[in-house]
Structure 1
Amino acid sequence: MSMSETSISEFFDALPLIRVRGPVKHREIRRKSDGRQIDIFEQAALLMYRIGDDAVSERIQISVDDMQSGYQPGDYMLSGEAFERNRFGGFELVRFGGLRLTRVPEAIVRLMEQDRQRHAKAA
């Protein structure tokens, strides 16, 4: 299939997708250096991507600032704000507090599912 014939689902399958699954959870840890308590706020998600013909899913935890700053359940992609220029002029993920997600619109999610079903019937 040429680049111009790539289906919608094939295009999006080539991009990493983050499926946020649960509410924000709070836990506490103590710093080794001074014993001070640190509050950690995390949200469960599933990172889905393709390597060649293999679909890969990995459970991940997304760090958020507090109980109210989590993401609504749904499908997300990395936002452009998640990247910064490094000292060599290339791009890298922002290291601390830099994970920024952009919600994939429901219409796109439905379109991808319809496209997958159409291809499954044709195969």
Structure 2
Amino acid sequence: AAGGDRRGRQSAALHIVSPGGGYGGMSDTACDLRIDDHPEPVTELSRLLDIHTMLFGAPDPDTLLDLSGDLEQEVHDLVTACGYSTLETWAGVENLENRLVPGKIDPLVLAHLRAADDGQP
């Protein structure tokens, strides 16, 4: 992927269009990301795409983990350590409510929760 300046390394963009693919099905723009000025624009675009996927993507049913036993206790402890009483409340604040599935947890949500407890963004 080439960028937009003479060296091919200053900007990058990604625009994905799909009928009803936008947030809530209200538009056709599924993803519209751009980096205008960055020393590593493609790397930065990849980072932003990961965030976009986390916030707007749906969980993969094949990777969902049963939220029971030790994992359920760990999630409860992590949510409590972050200052929330329920996973749903924490997920709402983190804009991850679309990734919640009753009785299950998305591995991406679990990783994000673990990172939040470690003080990582």
Q: Identify whether the pair has TM-score above 0.5, normalized to the shorter chain.
A: no
> Which structure shows the higher helix fraction?
2
- Work out which structure has the larger RCO, using CA pairs closer than 8 Å and 6 or more positions apart in sequence: 1
The bucket for the TM-score relative to the shorter chain is under 0.3
Normalising by structure 1, we get a TM-score of 0.26
